[in-house]
Structure 1
Amino acid sequence: MKLTTKLPAIFFLFGVMITGIVGSMILMGIETLQTVMLVALVLLCTLMAFALAQRIVESERHSPLNDDQKFLQDIQHHAIEFSATGIIVSDARQIKKPIIYVNQAFERLSGYAANDIIGSNIDMFHGDEFWLNASASVVSDDHGQPKFVINLLEDNTARKEAELELVRAQETRDELLRGMKLASNAGGICNWSLDINSGELRWDKAMFDLYGLSDSKPLTYEDWRSSVHPDDVEYAEKEVGNALEANTLFNAEFRIIHGFTGEVRWIKAAGDVHRNPNSEQYTLFGINLDITDERILQKKLEQESQTALQASEAKSRFLAIMSHEIRTPMNGVIGMIDLLRESELTQEQQRMTTTIRDSSFSLLDIINDVLDFSKIESGQMALEYRDTDLLNVIEKTLDLLRVSAQAKGVTLQIRHDFRIPALIKMDSIRIRQVLLNLVGNAIKFSHKPEREASVTVSTEYIEENTSLRISIADDGVGMTPEKISKLFKPFTQADNSTTRKFGGTGLGLSISKSFVEMMKGQIAVTSQPSLGSTFTITLPLNHSEFDDTLLRDYDFSDYTFVVMVKDSDIFEMCSHIISQCQPKRVIRKMPHSLDNHSRVIVVTLNEPMNIHDLTLKNIVLDAEQSDVSGSVTPQLYYLGSRPLNPSEMIVAAAVLCGFREPDSKTVEHTLLRHSSNNTEDYDIDKDNIVILCAEDQPTNRMVLERQLTSLGYRYEMTSNGVEALAAWKSGQYPIVLTDCHMPEMDGFELVAEIRRLEADKHHKTLMIAITANALVGEEENCEQAGMDDYIAKPVELEKLRSVLAANIRNHPMRTFASHENLPPRSSIPETNIEAELIDFEHLQNVIGTGDKKMIDAVLSIFWESLMSDLVLLENAISEKDTEQIGVLAHGIKGSAASSGALPLSVCFQEMEACKADVIKVNQLLASVKGMIAGIEEVLLQETNIKV
């Protein structure tokens, strides 16, 4: 027992003892002084003892044992106060059991401060619900009576939410597993896994059924491998190995042999490699699908696709053949008609030839429509975007249709929006074809004998979405909504009466719609019966690198335009064009007075105004002769007004205002340029240009010969590429005009060989293709083969003229030996030969007519060709060029047979056969010359040919 606990008892006993002593002394009669001294002594001792006791107590208070107890008390206080568990202490000795202590954890948990809680009952708490883990203990006194109640409260919300989330996840997982199982069963999905380390294979029941194996024993990798078709084992194992090696997805299709039935089934397998991070165990999980039915269907579809492709190719070949076969005779028809129109004919004969020509081109239009539709349908049609002057395309298209429109009493008009750039990116060929179809239809359906109709082509720039709108409006018969619904369908017109009345295949609108949609645009139509129709094309506007408008360089702000035109339509068109030039003003009557600084341009119709004031300029619109166009004087400019081309109106105003030079100096020069038959090649020196022609079809050869003769060109004609190549090697032909499709050597092979032989030469031969094949890719084939240009049959005289002229101007021409270098015909010895040297009856059967002029023409061509070939043949014989001898003999043999010179043909056939025997060839040459002399005599006697 500590000293401090004994001190009270010690002092108590000491006090009792002192009191007793003092009391005894008093009773014994001790003197007061002595007593006082004794008491003082006792008190002094007591004080000393008390001081000693106090020092002892203080010493004990600061002893290490007391510091530890205080430290432990502090730890207990902090542990309770800062515990994460809420603690509430209630006084159990009172009836309401008030709270006497709460720690900070309970304050955070309940949201109450300690001062608000102390003294309150625990039943006061309410608010948000949350999960608690609660426990309570009672502290009793020594007699077992409750003194305090200690409640421990722990927030268990997070754990409860985690438990609930886990339950929900398990439920979701179970649902997913049930869904996966259902999906697997419904979709025939079979599940498997492969332990990479042990090779153990686990399958579900569906896998066993799929492979036809028993599930009575454990499976291994070898069990699967032995089930795979022997031809697919290597492939399947390779795919599995690649997936394992690269740790990627496994995906393969292979065949298996069913274990029970022996049936071959197609399997689609997929899998993924999983690595267990704890055990480093690799497992390949995957699925199998039975795709046998899909494979069978796929094979069937491939066969059907192949059949369809073959059918499409057969159709394309058929169309190519039909195109070639139809165009070949049409070439003869149109070519001969062009030549016939050049001769002296009566008015009735001119009318008939025009009808024949128009009918021929109508047939060609039908052929072209069918071919275009076929290209679009087969996906072979391709667009070629290039910088295009849209206004120029519209104007040239309407110029092509001008004659047709005038014949039907239809006026053509153009309303152009000059905000559209002068050049835009588009396929000019396809947009021209769309315009030809739509404007051609508008002309056809606007014709009414009782009145003059009009067709207007309008353009508009749409700024909102940077697009272009082209409208073709007519005031013709119009259509009902029912008829409109039938438009744009192939081989369909509005109704049967349309076909009977107006003709056509019904392909034009379908093709136009396809072209517009290929250009990412739309086509629409609005119409009312008897009021007319409007077709609207909307296209995205693809800007060119040169994004300027036609009016950018012209400033008309100081000019007044006086449009003195009574015709309201022409006045409206002029005003629409001029107003976009932003002039000073546009008026209809001449001002009464003009100052010296006035700048006035007067527009009149048909007749120029009497200009006395040199400041005035005059544009004359000629309603009758649209070909008249040009500047006559610095004050006068003529324009055609049917149709009135906006670009020409702008040019006319710019020329008169001095903004640009005139394109031609006088109207007379313009008229001369249009009236001359030789305008496009008048500047070409044709004397030393000999054109080498290769054409296998006799009629086409004859037509081509006559056309070239009409154009003033010299030529040599061959019937195939072999003959043409042999002739070309002579070095006197700067131009080769060749058919693309010929026997022995076609045009493509011919040009390829010529390009190869002249690869190192500075001058290249001008190669122009002529073909009747108008299917897709023909032009590209010609270009890739090395052709410089391309002409589709039928070859029109003017087309041939323009193509030759344009290419000759663009290609440097060498100087070549002309036909004047050939030996004169009089040098051939004369021999008396009977007229049977030429079988005229046979010739009539060949050309299909007994017409004397036609027979003379054929024989004339034959004679000229024979003379040319004879010179080449003699050169080949002198040089012992057996190959050239055979080629020339073959060519003359064919032309002689076609011309009725059958004995000569037989002679050259023999020469071709013995071309290597030079002695024999020379003997035959002597016979040939004798026959030729006899043929010359026959021609002089029986024909009008000058030989």
Structure 2
Amino acid sequence: MIKYIYKTITNPIIGPVVVSSVILSLLVMFYLPTLSLQNQKDKVVLESLTLIDHLKIFRTYYNEAIVKKLKSKTDIAIDYNHEIASNTLPLPATVIYNLSERLNNERGITVNFFSDYPFPNRQKRVLDGHQKESLSFLRENPSETFVKEDYIDNKKVLRVSVSDVLTSQECLNCHNHRIDTPKNDWKLGEVRGAFEVIMPLEEQFLLNPIQIKASIAFMLFVIASFILHYTILFLRREKEIKFQTALLEEEVSKRTKDLNSSNLLLLEYKKAVDASAIVSKSDLRGTITYVNDTFCEISGYTKEELISKPHNIVRHPDMPKEFFKNLWDTIKAKKVFKGILKNKNRNGESYYVASTIVPILDDNGDIIEYLSLRYDITELVDAKEKAEIAQKAKSTFLANMSHEIRTPLNAIIGFSDILCESNINIEEKEHAKIISRSAKSLLNIINDVLDISKMENGKFELEEAEFSLFNLTEHITELFSVNIKDKNIKFIYTFDPLLPELILSDSYRIQQVLSNLISNAIKFTPENGKVYFEIKVIEKNDKNVKINFIIKDTGIGISKEQEEFIFKPFSQADSGITRKFGGTGLGLAICNDIVTMLKSKIQIKSELNKGSEFSFIVDFKIGNSIDENIKRTDINFAISEHFDDEDNIKSIVKNYLEKIGLVFEFPEALSKKIDIFFCFAMQDLLIELVEFKKYNFDSKIVYIGDKYSLNKAVLSYIDYYVDLPIYGSKIYNIIAENSKINRNVLNKSSNFENLKGTILVAEDNPNNQKLIEILLSKIGLQSLIVSDGQQAIDMYKKRKFDLILMDINMPIIDGIKATKIIREIQNEYYKIPIIALTANSIAGDKEKYLSSGMDDYLSKPIDFDKLVNIIKKYLQNNEKKLNYIEKNITPEKKFSKNIIKERLFLDDLTIDMLLDNFFLTLDNDLEKLQKAIDSKNCDEISKMAHYIKGSCSNLGMDDCAFILEKIEKESKDFKYDFSLKELIGLFNKIKKDLKGN
């Protein structure tokens, strides 16, 4: 409201009118009536004073001219009772009083002559409040006038009073010498009473001439101000209008020029569009209303033949109806449609156009017509089809080449491995190992080429499964620990203790990336250099974890210019690297693509001759796991200082130890019962060792570092040595060997399980036939070899086999067709598992084989462990099912590490580490489970049973897993009465079986 009033007042047009109107209204309503009333009062006061003066003059005259002369005549008296006494004249005051009564009656003016002295003739007169108030005021101010408004008989009047002062000696003498005087000490100048005039105040507008002139002058000033203000405003507005008119004319002129230029440019655009685009317009029903020359040229029709015809005139019959339904739905919804159409010209020849159809709207937003812009892309479509054919041919070529190369490689690798295990001399065995390594190197190159091909075709896919990143990186570190010894490289592996137990991702591809980056770091790092492999947790919550993988080296480094293309296929940092270090330049390209598919990016920090750092951060989902902060055992460790620990070796060791038990720093450990003491290179190491042995004589001492740098005195105290890189199995094996939980390290075994069954092998290559026969016989299986798919079908009909290994590329009938035929006739014969055995490794092959009726897929060159695992999977499928549903089964078969190999495809060293770690914590875990049962804590029972069951399942302890699964399920139904006797018996038997391996 205030804002609105302010805008109104400050408006240059209506503001002055509003302000002037308000001022004049206030003047007329308040000021002038007030001024008029005051004028009336002044007039009444003046008239009242004049009347009183006249009365006083009359009284003076009466006293001097009449009373004074009559005093000499004794027969005439002067007194107030003149009306009833004869020969008596009234006193001067009585004359005035009587005269005032006469004025009241004749003129409506009340004149009072009163006093508060008790003169005899005034005893009955009663003074009102105003008269008393006026007498009091006038005695104090005899020369002043007392004026006051009052209401008499409901009429507004003005009462004016003045003092009556003794001014005549004659009056003074009379007052002092009269017998009835109320006092006889009167003095000249004393107030004896008061004159009062009461006049009515009438409602009339009364201004004096000066006020009238001032009002007129003010009105004239206001009018003059209005005239001046609006004259100035008018002149300013005229000037502004002229200025705006000039600007508008200039803008119109400019826009006219721009419009003309735009029209010319639009015409040029139209020419350009007409020259390159196929333009047409159509009405709401799709009838053509306009076409340009380009439309006519490509369609072969004239404008006359096209106008008024539907667009169907150029529609190719191959285009589906759904396409045009979508087109019309889009443009009728006032949206722009974009798409590729296949059209036909007048001669029936097809051509392709990229079409954009725009609805044209009127002022009301309604569609009035459609504008179509099309571009001829026939050459692009033909080129794309040719490229797809070429890509398909490339994929086929790669598949065929892969098969042709893998087939001899299969025999080379297989037989070279057999030679390595045979009883030949050392030199021949070394030659066989060289053949095997070379063949496997060639196989890796083929795999890299195939991976690049898959990525280019968009067929490279990542799988997601739950796995232990800790175990994966430990395994990678263990594999590369052999390579670094030849170059005397210091390899430092560090993992974050916050790393979750399980994550979900593609473990194979992550291993591929890390292995390639570490391999490059080792390859390009000179002797006595360093390679760092670090796993760091960036963020972590209950469901997700963000992990940073860092591979750093002190090698040759990469320049900024070289960083731009090292991720491109077949590229190297420089032309001399391939000659000096070898390699195809595919590794980093594959790594980069895999990391990109993991929604990350490989970052590079490098400096020539100072080293490089490759890192990437990936978000993973966290798998189900038990609380990682639970202490697993009651083993106590001591750890010494490490003063020259720039590589954080002590922290790495401490992280491993804290996963198992309590760790005490030296010398605090001297007051504890310590099982194993871990120490590092330091100046006073011998003193510490001597001191430690005083308090823990039977405890073992482990030295971390280069044992060749120690003197004989220190060496005499050391029980075990751990060199770089440090990984779990090195630590766990020492702990397992020297702990109460498991004092025996598991021995490696080269024995294989004996399986029962007969396998039909369809393989056309003689070398591969012999290799497969040897591998199958090695695990106790009989085999029958055939050379093509037709022979496989015939043998299937003649004999009963337990499984078929079916090659894909064979003469007469290939493996896929043979499989389909067997599946069609299996109801007449018998159902049998068929495993694809092929060198093809292109994405989609496995799905193709499975869809043709095969049960599984095994790639060449054959991995022996995978071969055994997949055969056992189908030969013992029913037996495994029984193991999971029977109650209280005691395993009759001896437990072997081969069971774990089948499950996890790991080497013996890693399996040993897993078993050590499992039995290292088993007693503690079983004790916690028993405590939960004793306390009837169903949640804790379910939690611990689930945790131990997971480890048992991974390690092939199926009977133990079955019992734990039963406990887990029943505890969720609030059951808690369980006995662990049978479970503990199974674990003890497994330990016994493993000791016999």
TM class by shorter-chain length? 0.5 to 0.7
* Alignment correspondent of 2:759: 691
Task: Please list, as runs of the form range in 1=range in 2, the aligned pairs for 1:612-623 lying within 5 A after superposition.
Answer: none
Match of 1:777 among 839, 844, 849: 844
Match of 1:362 among 416, 419, 441: 441
Residue 463 (1) aligns with residue 547 (2): no
Match of 1:768 among 817, 832, 835: 835
Where 1:522 maps in the other structure, the secondary structure is: coil
Q: Which moved more, 1:563-572 or 1:792-801?
A: 563-572
Q: Distance in 1 between matches of 2:355 and 2:566?
A: 48
Q: Is the 8 A contact 1:559 1:585 kept in 2?
A: yes
Residue 726 (1) aligns with residue 779 (2): no
Where 2:524 maps in the other structure, the secondary structure is: helix
Q: Is the 8 A contact 1:445 1:477 kept in 2?
A: yes
Q: Is the 8 A contact 2:759 2:801 kept in 1?
A: yes
Residue 521 (1) aligns with residue 521 (2): no
Match of 2:750 among 677, 699, 702: 677
Residue 790 (1) aligns with residue 882 (2): no
Q: Distance in 2 between matches of 1:742 and 1:584?
A: 62
Q: Distance in 2 between matches of 1:485 and 1:493?
A: 11
Q: Is the 8 A contact 2:399 2:841 kept in 1?
A: yes
* Alignment correspondent of 1:285: 369
Q: Is the 8 A contact 1:196 1:282 kept in 2?
A: no
Q: Distance in 1 between matches of 2:488 and 2:331?
A: 82
Match of 1:540 among 618, 629, 634: 618
Q: Distance in 2 between matches of 1:533 and 1:390?
A: 24
Q: Is the 8 A contact 2:763 2:769 kept in 1?
A: yes
Q: Distance in 2 between matches of 1:254 and 1:474?
A: 57
Task: Please list, as runs of the form range in 1=range in 2, the aligned pairs for 1:332-411 lying within 5 A after superposition.
Answer: 332-411=411-490
Match of 2:665 among 577, 581, 587: 587
Q: Is the 8 A contact 1:195 1:284 kept in 2?
A: yes
Q: Is the 8 A contact 2:759 2:802 kept in 1?
A: yes
* Alignment correspondent of 2:227: 122
Structure 1 residue 462 displacement after superposition: 1.5
Q: Distance in 2 between matches of 1:529 and 1:269?
A: 53
CA distance change for structure 1 residues 714 and 177 in 2, over 3 Å: closer, same or farther? farther
Task: Please list, as runs of the form range in 1=range in 2, the aligned pairs for 1:104-143 lying within 5 A after superposition.
Answer: 117=222, 122-125=227-230
Give the letter for the 2:536 counterpart: E
Structure 1 residue 132 displacement after superposition: 9.5
Task: Please list, as runs of the form range in 1=range in 2, the aligned pairs for 1:605-684 lying within 5 A after superposition.
Answer: 643-646=725-728, 649=731, 665=742, 667=744, 670-671=746-747, 674=748, 676-678=749-751, 681-682=752-753
Q: Is the 8 A contact 1:433 1:512 kept in 2?
A: yes
Residue 703 (1) aligns with residue 781 (2): no
CA distance change for structure 1 residues 506 and 170 in 2, over 3 Å: closer, same or farther? same
Residue 553 (1) aligns with residue 630 (2): yes
Q: Is the 8 A contact 2:288 2:308 kept in 1?
A: no
Q: Is the 8 A contact 1:773 1:792 kept in 2?
A: yes
CA distance change for structure 1 residues 352 and 183 in 2, over 3 Å: closer, same or farther? same
Structure 1 residue 471 displacement after superposition: 1.4
Give the letter for the 1:771 counterpart: T
Structure 1 residue 348 displacement after superposition: 1.0
Structure 1 residue 389 displacement after superposition: 1.8
Structure 1 residue 417 displacement after superposition: 0.7
Give the letter for the 1:472 counterpart: I
Where 1:717 maps in the other structure, the secondary structure is: strand
Residue 187 (1) aligns with residue 264 (2): no
Q: Distance in 2 between matches of 1:637 and 1:373?
A: 49
CA distance change for structure 1 residues 418 and 616 in 2, over 3 Å: closer, same or farther? farther
Where 1:727 maps in the other structure, the secondary structure is: helix
Give the letter for the 2:537 counterpart: Y
Q: Is the 8 A contact 2:450 2:841 kept in 1?
A: yes
Per-residue deviation, residues 483-517 of structure 1 (Å, max 9, x unmatched): 55553232232334322232211211222122212
Gaps of 5+ in 1: 1-93, 102-115, 134-156, 213-218, 259-263, 626-635, 816-947
Structure 1 residue 272 displacement after superposition: 4.4
Q: Distance in 2 between matches of 1:517 and 1:171?
A: 54
Per-residue deviation, residues 377-435 of structure 1 (Å, max 9, x unmatched): 23221122332322222122233334333444445442001222222232211111112
* Alignment correspondent of 2:308: 225
Q: Distance in 1 between matches of 2:316 and 2:606?
A: 69
Bigger Rg, which one: 2
* Alignment correspondent of 1:312: 391
Structure 1 residue 374 displacement after superposition: 1.9
CA distance change for structure 1 residues 125 and 615 in 2, over 3 Å: closer, same or farther? farther
Give the letter for the 1:644 counterpart: I
Give the letter for the 2:617 counterpart: L
Q: Distance in 1 between matches of 2:661 and 2:234?
A: 85
* Alignment correspondent of 2:784: 716
Over the residues paired in the alignment, what is the CA RMSD in angstroms?
5.8
Task: Please list, as runs of the form range in 1=range in 2, the aligned pairs for 1:23-62 lying within 5 A after superposition.
Answer: none
Q: Distance in 2 between matches of 1:802 and 1:240?
A: 53
Q: Distance in 2 between matches of 1:602 and 1:173?
A: 94
CA distance change for structure 1 residues 308 and 585 in 2, over 3 Å: closer, same or farther? same
* Alignment correspondent of 2:677: 602
Where 1:463 maps in the other structure, the secondary structure is: strand
Q: Distance in 1 between matches of 2:644 and 2:738?
A: 23
Structure 1 residue 460 displacement after superposition: 0.8
Where 1:541 maps in the other structure, the secondary structure is: strand
Q: Is the 8 A contact 2:636 2:675 kept in 1?
A: yes
Percent identity among equivalent residues? 26
Q: Distance in 2 between matches of 1:512 and 1:666?
A: 42
Structure 1 residue 747 displacement after superposition: 3.1
Q: Is the 8 A contact 1:228 1:255 kept in 2?
A: no
Give the letter for the 2:463 counterpart: E
Q: Is the 8 A contact 1:201 1:221 kept in 2?
A: no
Q: Is the 8 A contact 1:425 1:542 kept in 2?
A: yes
Give the letter for the 1:690 counterpart: T
Where 1:421 maps in the other structure, the secondary structure is: coil
CA distance change for structure 1 residues 325 and 276 in 2, over 3 Å: closer, same or farther? closer
> Normalized against structure 1, the TM-score is what?
0.54
* Alignment correspondent of 1:433: 512
Where 2:531 maps in the other structure, the secondary structure is: strand
Residue 488 (1) aligns with residue 567 (2): yes
Where 1:225 maps in the other structure, the secondary structure is: coil
Where 1:122 maps in the other structure, the secondary structure is: helix
Q: Is the 8 A contact 1:600 1:615 kept in 2?
A: no
Per-residue deviation, residues 80-139 of structure 1 (Å, max 9, x unmatched): xxxxxxxxxxxxxx9x997969xxxxxxxxxxxxxx946855224589789999xxxxxx
Q: Is the 8 A contact 1:391 1:647 kept in 2?
A: no
CA distance change for structure 1 residues 427 and 128 in 2, over 3 Å: closer, same or farther? farther
Where 1:330 maps in the other structure, the secondary structure is: helix
CA distance change for structure 1 residues 182 and 593 in 2, over 3 Å: closer, same or farther? closer
Q: Is the 8 A contact 2:352 2:381 kept in 1?
A: no
CA distance change for structure 1 residues 195 and 325 in 2, over 3 Å: closer, same or farther? closer
CA distance change for structure 1 residues 229 and 120 in 2, over 3 Å: closer, same or farther? closer
Q: Is the 8 A contact 2:410 2:862 kept in 1?
A: yes
Structure 1 residue 186 displacement after superposition: 1.2
Q: Distance in 2 between matches of 1:653 and 1:347?
A: 35
Match of 2:580 among 501, 505, 508: 501
Match of 1:325 among 400, 404, 416: 404
Where 2:547 maps in the other structure, the secondary structure is: strand
Equivalent residues, number: 626
